[in-house]
Chains A and B, each alone.
Chain A
Amino acid sequence: MKLLVPVKRVLDYNVKPRVKADGSGVDLSNVKMSMNPFDEIAVEEALRLREAGAASEVVVVSIGEAKAAETLRTALAMGADRAVLITAEGPVEPLGVAKLLAKVAQEEQPGLVILGKQAIDDDNGQTGQMLAGLLGWGQGTFASKVAIEGEHAVVTREVDGGAETVRLKLPAIVTTDLRLNEPRYASLPNIMKAKSKPMANKTPADYGVDVTPRLTVTRVEEPGKRQAGVKVADVDELVAKLKALGVTG
């Protein structure tokens, strides 16, 4: 079976975002961009399923500006077989992304689509579930374990309070949680090899999908700053402060 893995180019997770002074958004000029960490985990899981013989091909897809090609090259260097880049002007919301991915899925007929559980820029956490809804497939979100058993995927999910296991009829959607795996690094020879792997260039119009945003961001601002605190010298002083707050133990 074929695996489809959508990946997103986002502000690197180590970079502290700076809100623009005019309130129009977060400043993304001249900052390091990387593959969304949850998507790295998705690529890794797809590669492991292929290495275990449960899948034959891993196709990665990204939607966004032309530079998303770099993110796809990273996924190819990790070991994905080929890539689809859908270039779009301006931001595409999860609903638009899900509609495009549904078209790609209908074209590619994957047995499983593996996505990250959320992108660390917009923190929406919607795309996988939306895609599952549009395709009418089962969804295994926040996965910490994925096993293919014949015509089904058995997915252990991280839920509030513990874990839950569901059984999904294939084809299905899985979204990755942090503890699913430890993504591999791309080696230099593989980075070189990735340059010659195939990458199809598409636009939303090729799929007949309208990606006009439904939401307008009217303002982006810094969160309220906390007042500077005090440092205490020892435990006695800390206990006194806590007791003053009404914490008595």
Chain B
Amino acid sequence: MKTLVWAEHDNAALKDATLATVTAAGKLGEVHLLVAGHDCDAVAQAAAKIAGVATVHVADDAAYEHPLPESVAPLVVELMASHDAFVVPATTTGRNLAPRVAALLDVMQISDILSVESANSFTRPIYAGNAIATVTTSDAKLVITVRGTAFDKAAAEGGSATIESVSAAAQGQDQASFVSSEIAASERPELTSAKIIVSGGRALQNGENFASIIEPLADRLGAGVGASRAAVDAGYVPNDYQVGQTGKIVAPELYIAIGISGAIQHLAGMKDSKVIVAINKDEDAPIFQVADIGLVGDLFNIVPELTEKL
């Protein structure tokens, strides 16, 4: 089987999510990467070095600078004439693009896979991760999005793929155009690839407390900062901090949940973390049912003390 993997990048560097997706695609067969972008030569060079990649297809065009699905989906459909599967990281870019491609190919997409059972059988979470379904497809071509935390990352070095340029007449610009983006600046590790995450909830009471209590601990540990939906909705932090069913899915080595009760929608985003630590004053909070280490008490006393003693 020839797989086509969507390389996620910002025209300057590859995103980590691509590496886990290459691993998943490698379980299906020969891995080809698609780098669609503008002035993205550095990305193509990096993509060619990923271990296990046979060919990198590069579509360099101003129309692909921001990968709008209206423009990119027709390009992918063209390439799918000579590939058997389109494998995409389940990032917001991937989730935006892949179903459009699937519809144009008249196949059912398999979303957010956790494992490859066979060439046409996969596991995926349903009901906010409260159940795992094994699904088998009868479609001739596969369109799959991959949960990055469920697969090891392919080695970023060691490959020597050939780079081929793809020329396609860009389409779709009349349907949609890019206006602007506001990317939150952060010095901290990216949430989905951080080894340690310190996450805060509603109990922080306001944004100032979040900054003065959660962030020093995160900085002490070199950790990413996450939040529950309650903390985001209350405006303590921007919404790209949100961990959960509707936010980011993370699986760090250590997840420290502070003032988070542990609603099922939040657990859906973090319960595959290797070690979970919970700090909460309510000893009956559901978070303690999944926490490896729990401490019952007032976060306003505990967290500064913890930061100091670490």
Binding site for B on A (CB under 8 A): 11, 13, 16-17, 19, 26, 93-95, 98, 117-118, 120-134, 136-142, 144, 154, 157-169, 172, 177-179, 213-223, 226-227, 229-236, 238-239, 241-242, 245, 247-249
- Quick check: B111 and A123 within 8 Å, CB to CB? yes
Contacts A218-B134, A245-B275 given; 19 further ones with Cβ under 8 A?
A95-B102, A122-B126, A123-B112, A129-B100, A132-B100, A139-B176, A159-B92, A160-B192, A160-B240, A165-B181, A214-B137, A220-B132, A222-B131, A229-B292, A231-B293, A233-B295, A245-B254, A249-B221, A249-B310
- Quick check: A217 and B310 within 8 Å, CB to CB? no
Task: Flag B88-114 by CB within 8 Å of A: 1 or 0 each.
Answer: 000111011111111110111111100
- Quick check: A169 and B100 within 8 Å, CB to CB? no
Determine whether B82 belongs to the interface, using a CB cutoff of 8 Å to chain A: no
Most buried by B among A140, A229, A241: A229
Stretch touching chain A among B21-29, B48-56, B68-76: B68-76
Q: For residue B179, which residues in chain A have a CB less than 8 angstroms away from its CB?
A: 154, 165-167
Say which residue of A98, A123, A230 sits within 8 Å of B127 (CB atoms).
Answer: A123
- Quick check: A232 and B293 within 8 Å, CB to CB? yes
Determine whether B133 belongs to the interface, using a CB cutoff of 8 Å to chain A: yes
- Quick check: A232 and B295 within 8 Å, CB to CB? yes
Q: For residue A231, which residues in chain B have a CB less than 8 angstroms away from its CB?
A: 283, 288, 293-296
Q: A125-B111, A169-B175 are in contact. Are A226 and B99 (CB under 8 A)?
A: no
Within B277-310, the residues touching A (CB, 8 Å) are: 277, 283, 288, 290-297, 302, 305-306, 309-310
- Quick check: A17 and B180 within 8 Å, CB to CB? no
Q: A217-B134, A230-B292 are in contact. Are A162 and B110 (CB under 8 A)?
A: no
- Quick check: A26 and B277 within 8 Å, CB to CB? no
Within B153-205, the residues touching A (CB, 8 Å) are: 172, 174-184, 190, 192, 196
- Quick check: B99 and A229 within 8 Å, CB to CB? no
Q: A139-B176, A247-B310 are in contact. Are A164 and B181 (CB under 8 A)?
A: yes
Q: For residue B69, which residues in chain A have a CB less than 8 angstroms away from its CB?
A: 129, 132-133, 139
Q: For residue A142, which residues in chain B have a CB less than 8 angstroms away from its CB?
A: 92, 96
Which applies to chain A's interface (DSSP): helix, strand, loop or mixed? mixed
Within the assembled complex, what's the spacing in Å between the Cα atoms of A220 and B129?
11
- Quick check: B132 and A137 within 8 Å, CB to CB? no
Which residue of chain B lies nearest to A13 when distances are taken between CB atoms in the complex? B265
Q: For residue B302, which residues in chain A have a CB less than 8 angstroms away from its CB?
A: 235
Binding site for A on B (CB under 8 A): 66, 68-70, 73, 91-93, 95-104, 106-112, 121, 125-139, 172, 174-184, 190, 192, 196, 220-221, 229, 232-233, 238-240, 245-246, 248, 254, 264-265, 271, 275-277, 283, 288, 290-297, 302, 305-306, 309-310
Within the assembled complex, what's the spacing in Å between the Cα atoms of A118 and B136?
21
Which residue of chain A lies nearest to B125 when distances are taken between CB atoms in the complex? A123
Q: For residue A216, which residues in chain B have a CB less than 8 angstroms away from its CB?
A: 135-138
Within the assembled complex, what's the spacing in Å between the Cα atoms of A237 and B239?
33
Q: A161-B184, A163-B181 are in contact. Are A129 and B306 (CB under 8 A)?
A: no
- Quick check: A124 and B295 within 8 Å, CB to CB? no
CB distance from B233 to the nearest CB of A (A): 7
Which residue of chain B lies nearest to A159 when distances are taken between CB atoms in the complex? B92
CB distance from B284 to the nearest CB of A (A): 12
Within the assembled complex, what's the spacing in Å between the Cα atoms of A160 and B294?
30
- Quick check: A236 and B309 within 8 Å, CB to CB? yes
Within the assembled complex, what's the spacing in Å between the Cα atoms of A92 and B18?
31
- Quick check: A215 and B135 within 8 Å, CB to CB? yes
Which residue of chain A lies nearest to B10 when distances are taken between CB atoms in the complex? A161
- Quick check: A241 and B305 within 8 Å, CB to CB? no
Say which residue of B99, B101, B310 sits within 8 Å of A94 (CB atoms).
Answer: B99
Q: For residue A95, which residues in chain B have a CB less than 8 angstroms away from its CB?
A: 102-103, 106-109
Show 17 residue pairs from A and B whose CB-CB distance is below 8 angstroms, ordered by the A residue. A11-B127, A124-B111, A129-B69, A129-B96, A129-B98, A132-B69, A132-B100, A138-B172, A144-B239, A160-B192, A161-B240, A165-B181, A169-B175, A179-B232, A218-B134, A239-B306, A242-B277
Q: For residue B310, which residues in chain A have a CB less than 8 angstroms away from its CB?
A: 239, 242, 247-249
Which residue of chain B lies nearest to A212 when distances are taken between CB atoms in the complex? B138
Q: For residue B291, which residues in chain A have a CB less than 8 angstroms away from its CB?
A: 229
Within the assembled complex, what's the spacing in Å between the Cα atoms of A233 and B175?
60
Q: A130-B100, A247-B254, A249-B221 are in contact. Are A235 and B111 (CB under 8 A)?
A: no
Within the assembled complex, what's the spacing in Å between the Cα atoms of A86 and B175?
29
CB distance from A92 to the nearest CB of B (A): 11
Say which residue of A138, A162, A234 sits within 8 Å of B175 (CB atoms).
Answer: A138
Within the assembled complex, what's the spacing in Å between the Cα atoms of A233 and B279?
11
- Quick check: A160 and B93 within 8 Å, CB to CB? yes
Within the assembled complex, what's the spacing in Å between the Cα atoms of A223 and B102?
28
For the complex of A and B, list the 8 residue pairs with the smallest distance between their C-beta atoms, beginning with the closest. A249-B310, A129-B99, A133-B103, A138-B176, A130-B103, A126-B99, A138-B175, A214-B108
Within the assembled complex, what's the spacing in Å between the Cα atoms of A41 and B306?
40
Q: For residue A13, which residues in chain B have a CB less than 8 angstroms away from its CB?
A: 265
Within the assembled complex, what's the spacing in Å between the Cα atoms of A162 and B180?
11
Q: For residue A164, which residues in chain B have a CB less than 8 angstroms away from its CB?
A: 66, 178, 180-182
